[in-house]
Amino acid sequence: MQQCWRARTLLLLASVLSALSTSLQSFENSGIVRTIDLGGSLVHVTTTYAVRALDDKADTYSIAVAKEELVKTSWIEIKVKGQPKPLTVSYGGGLENGAHLLNIALPKPLAANGTVNIVVETVQTHATRPWPERAAQDESQSLKYEYQLFVLSPYKTVVQRTKLKSTNPSIISYTTPENVQDFTLENPVAKSGATVTYGPYRNIPESFTVDFTSKYQQTIAINYAYDFPVIEVTKLTRGVEISHWAANLNVQDEVVLHNAGPELKGHFSRLQHQTQAYFSRAVAHVLSSFTLHLPAGIRNAYYHDLIGNVSTSHLRTAPSPRKLGSQATQSQYSVLELKPRYPLMGGWNYTYTLGWDSPLEDSAKYDVTSGRHTVEVPVMTEIPGAVIEDAEVKIILPEGAIDVEYAVPYPAVSSEVTTHITYLDTVGRPAIVFKYQNLTNRHVKSIYVSYKVPLSAHLRKPAAVATVLLGLFGFSLIVRRIDLTIHKKRA
Ligand SMILES: *[C@@H]1O[C@H](CO)[C@@H](O)[C@H](O)[C@H]1NC(C)=O
Ligand SMILES: *[C@@H]1O[C@H](CO)[C@@H](O)[C@H](O)[C@H]1NC(C)=O
Ligand SMILES: *[C@@H]1O[C@H](CO)[C@@H](O)[C@H](O)[C@H]1NC(C)=O
Ligand SMILES: *[C@@H]1O[C@H](CO)[C@@H](O)[C@H](O)[C@H]1NC(C)=O
């Protein structure tokens, strides 16, 4: 299972464990390089620590995360550079300056002077805002991002730098740091193309102390042009229904989209929009369409909004993985180009429903020895570049399912087991509801649900259907008898 920390969990823990619970081992950072990919709703940050052990048997390396960063962090994963397996991370306590320590278990202890490169990857959400806050329909879009100049660490650092990478070389402004002459005699910041680099800063002492942060830490702001719409899903409600009876998995998403780009200044002109689109000069802060990757083998896809069916979208379905060889199927998906009914301007919302069926056998397995069914249910479908602020995933199991177990890819904000009752159900179906917040592209993973369906439950549905049919049949018999009687009398 993926090693994952959510900001809220950490803050929660912080209130319980306020003191440092471990004594720190001795390391030195030969170098720290942080790369920030300036995005819209999502900002990806990769920090690489080149670490040297100062003592033998060093097996726990600690990093410090500033509180300003922690509240924005929705995903964190820590690995040894070049290795696929995430490292085990435990909470190391809150610090006086509001930062938090995370303890990382190294795969094997280092001897003195032993080195390792540790890569910390995070995804930040709600980290940018439109700046200026309003833009006319034909104006470009720019965003503001803020971060803390120094990467905090409990160890001395030989050299440290931060690169901010934009997709557009048009960087409107960026802060020049103050009071950094202790660490560099050169220009403290440099811009080259679409990248702004802070540092190199040399010989930085242990930076996790209040002394250091109060003297040197500072907020850096950067204002950059951004060429893509800033999309937030304010609410995703995913309903997943498992039916053994119909051998079907139905997935339905209700999505509330919000364009978090600059608010539209003045009125929206469809003519201007169409002219811009015609000359391929569609502006960055207008969302006209986006592409979704849906599973292979889906059928009966539907897409409607509050007004009705939306017919302007294109779906190209890939064949069901079962129908192909088992190789080359992983990368297969159906492609939906989804067009909202109207172009979505900054500050506007759009609500739609998207659903599809797929063969249950594509995502379910039955284990004969344990008698358990296991079904894989994706938490979400990625909307490129978007954050999902609030998600609710409801998985409805077959009627009579018992011994329900589940495994989540990362902890949910909440989960509960309820009962869902529909037509032709006699006892209702067990349902599990998961709630999540601030989902990103790194959260595109699956929940596994496992359960047993006793034979009696398998028979219950046919029995319910049979009762209805028998009722109808019995009724028609009576009708015919009456009918016959009438005929008889006439005859
Ligand atoms: C999600 O982000 C919002 C806004 O930044 C924040 O208030 C909320 O606590 C976050 N939720 C979780 C579970 O991290
Ligand atoms: C570690 O490296 C330093 C300098 O390169 C050297 O002086 C020291 O002896 C080394 N320590 C060990 C235990 O090898
Ligand atoms: C919407 O489309 C579905 C199938 O594509 C169809 O069954 C339904 O009647 C349509 N509804 C309206 C209001 O057009
Ligand atoms: C969009 O939805 C948000 C709440 O999710 C609301 O505050 C805002 O006013 C809505 N915008 C419009 C233009 O309706």
* pTM confidence score: 0.86
Nearest ligand to the C-alpha atom of residue 11: 1
- Determine the average pLDDT of the residues in 104-131: 96
Q: Angle at Cα 132 formed by Cα 130 and Cα 134, nearest 5°?
A: 85
pLDDT class of 474 with cuts at 50, 70, 90: very low
Q: Choose the CATH number for 231-459 among 2.10.109.10, 2.60.40.1730, 3.40.50.300, 3.30.70.2860.
A: 2.60.40.1730
Are the CB atoms for 319 and 329 separated by under 8 Å?
no
- Name the residue ranges covered by the structural domains of the chain: 23-225, 231-459
pLDDT in tens, 263-289: 988 877 777 777 766 666 567 888 999
DSSP strand E in 149-284: where?
156-165, 171-174, 189-192, 195-204, 219-225, 231-243, 248-259, 263-264
Range 23-225 has CATH code 2.60.40 = yes
Distances in Å between the Cα of 400 and the Cα atoms of 190, 371, 397, 452 are: 65, 14, 8, 9
Q: How much distance in Å is there from the Cα of 114 to the middle of ligand 2?
A: 10
pLDDT digit string (tens) for 209-233? 999 999 999 999 999 999 999 999 9
Q: What was the pLDDT predicted at 284?
A: 82
320: helix, strand or coil: coil
* β-strands 156-165, 27-37 pairing: parallel
Domains 23-225 and 231-459 share a fold: yes
Which atom of ligand 4 is nearest the CA belonging to 258?
A: 1
Sign of CA dihedral 289, 295, 298, 302: negative
* 142-148/219-225 β-pairing: antiparallel
Q: Which of 233, 235, 258, 390 to mutate to test the pocket of ligand 4 (most atoms within 8 A of CB)?
A: 258
Which tokens go with 108? 């094997």
Tokens of 81: 């550079």
Is the backbone of residue 141 left (phi > 0), alpha (psi -120 to 50) or beta? Answer: beta
Dihedral of the alpha carbons of 408, 409, 415, 420, in degrees to the nearest 10: -60
